[in-house]
Amino acid sequence: MIRIFLVDDHAVLRHGLRALLQQEPDLEVVGEAENGQQLLELLPTTPADVVLLDLHMPVLDGLATTQQLCQQFPQVHVLILSMVENELSIGQVLTAGASGYVLKSADRREIIGAIHTIVSGKQFLCSELGLMMLHKVLNMTSTPAIVNKQPSGLSQREREVLQLVGEGLTTHQIADKLFTSPRTIETHRQNIMEKTGAKNTAALIKIAMEKGWFTIA
């Protein structure tokens, strides 16, 4: 039996994951936590084989939690389950000791497959991220360098969010316009900031304007 500890600041997501995983006869959810600090406090009395860990959480985020887990509980396998697609963030948490990384958009079979893979001692990267990185490498090697005004490294949705940020829309207005949640937009904004190196929204808009990324309607 593989013992699993769920760590995410959204209770609805934790409950959904618990219901999904408990359908598997060899998986058992032994605990839940809202953040990394709570996990570290509970883990000594609630042994687990795998920790499913969100990346962006209050108090103690996924990266810091992974670092402490690998130091204090080296026998525990860490599987990141996040919406973040940024290669830098993925690389940082894998370097910190995480055994795998899966996007929250992954289906049930891939999440369960990831758990079994990392427990066997192997690393796991979900197929969507693997294909994304492969396409990026292929584009870098096969496309001649050209001057353009498209923000390199951003997904199509991130470009849409960046354009709407430049138009002065708030997070909630962007979410309404793109038919998604404010939390999803905040994640996209965070990804954009990390990819561009901008420290805040003002700096992001300045960078985008200097590079000519905004489309004039």
Q: What is the pLDDT of residues 73-87, one digit of tens each?
A: 999 999 999 988 878
Q: Which residue has the higher pLDDT, 146 or 32?
A: 32
Please tell me the least confidently modeled range out of 19-23, 54-58, 131-135, 158-162: 131-135
Higher-confidence residue of 120 and 206: namely 120
* Token duo for residue 205: 């808009």
* Residue 94 CA, distance from chain mean position: 12
Name the band, by pLDDT with cuts 50, 70 and 90, for residue 106: confident
Alpha-carbon distances, residue 16 vs 19, 20, 88, 182 (angstroms): 5, 6, 28, 20
Residue type, 16: G
The pLDDT > 90 percentage for the chain reads: 48
Tell me what pLDDT residue 144 has. 47
- β-sheet bridge partners, residue 194: none
138 pLDDT band, cuts 50/70/90, is low
Q: What is the pLDDT of residue 145?
A: 44
Confidence band of 134 (pLDDT split at 50, 70, 90): low
Domain range 2-130, CATH architecture: 3-Layer(aba) Sandwich (3.40)
How many angstroms separate the CA atoms of 27 and 118, rounded?
Answer: 14
Radius of gyration of the chain (CA): 19
Query: Does residue 197 sit in helix, strand or coil?
Result: coil
**Which pLDDT value is given to residue 102?**
94
Tell me if 79 sits within 8 A of 99, measured CB to CB.
yes
- Contact (CB, 8 A) for 65 and 40: yes
Q: Kindly tell me if the per-residue pLDDT of 202 is higher than 90.
A: no
User: Domain 149-211 belongs to what architecture?
Assistant: Orthogonal Bundle (1.10)
Q: For residues 129 and 87, what is the distance between their CA atoms, to the nearest angstrom?
A: 9
**CA proximity to 86, closest of 194, 165, 189, 184:** 194
Q: Could you give the percent of the chain with pLDDT greater than 70? A: 89
DSSP annotation of 45 reads G
- pLDDT given at position 178: 85
Single pTM value for the model: 0.65
Alpha carbons 22 and 201: distance in angstroms, whole number:
42
Q: Under a CB-based contact definition with an 8 Å cutoff, are residues 70 and 96 in contact? A: yes
| pLDDT given at position 21 | 94
pLDDT in tens, 151-200: 667 888 888 888 888 877 888 888 888 888 888 888 988 888 888 888 88
Determine the average pLDDT of the residues in 126-134: 76
Q: Domain locations in the chain? A: 2-130, 149-211
- At 17-42, the pLDDT tens digits run 999 998 999 999 999 999 999 999 99
Res 147: pLDDT = 42
